[in-house]
Amino acid sequence: MFKQLIMIKRILVLFAVALLVSVSFVNAQNEDWSAPSAADKIVNPLKGNSDATKKGKILYQQMCAICHGDQGKGDGIAGAALDPPPGNFITKKVQAQTDGAIFWKITTGRPPMISYAEFLKEEQRWQLVNYIRELGENK
Ligand code: HEC
């Protein structure tokens, strides 16, 4: 009897956690996505490194262009049906963000974009930040 009660309690706790997670997920989709201000202080160790930017371009074409588009305009084929739509990197909205904030977003992700913390090394994420800057210059 006692064991059954503990079981029921566990199920209830699991249920409550699932509910909380889904509620915060729904809310997140309605808000503009901004990085925490602490992210602005992360310094880009590869700033101005054109070799890194070239590597970022290759990674970008392999992993990001499908949603964000070849020129970073948010018009990739896999991005067309997404809500919210993929970011358009040539806009002021994106380019006005610090390198640290962009790095934080690539690292953290927000559905439908995944977190790249496990798929890309820190260095590769900075290479991508460099390339996103370059895309911003090609208006
Ligand atoms: C499955 C499609 C998809 C892929 C693949 C993808 N993204 Fe995204 N990305 C999105 C969506 C959708 C958003 C908008 C999320 C939001 O606003 O909540 C986004 C947002 C972003 C933002 C924030 C833009 C802003 O407005 O501030 C950055 C930076 C970004 N992605 C970088 C990348 C990089 C770099 C890659 C490749 C490693 C990548 N993304 C791969 C779908 C994708």
- 132 pLDDT above the threshold of 60: yes
Distance from the alpha carbon of residue 49 to the mean position of ligand 1, in angstroms: 23
Distance from the alpha carbon of residue 28 to the mean position of ligand 1, in angstroms: 14
| Residue 39 phi, psi (nearest 5) | -65, -30
- Greatest pairwise CA separation for the chain in angstroms: 69
Higher-scoring residue by pLDDT: 102, 27: 102
- 95 pLDDT above the threshold of 60: yes
- 49 pLDDT above the threshold of 70: yes
- 20 pLDDT above the threshold of 60: no
What's the predicted TM-score (pTM) here?
Answer: 0.83
CA distance 57 to 17: 40
User: With a 6 A CB cut-off, is 68 part of the ligand 1 pocket?
Assistant: yes
Atom of ligand 1 nearest to the CA of 66: 5
Task: Report whether 104 contacts 36 (CB < 8 A).
Answer: yes
Least confident of 16-25, 33-42, 43-52, 67-76: 16-25
Side-chain-side CA neighbours of 99 within 13 Å: the count stands at: 16
CA distance 99 to 47: 9
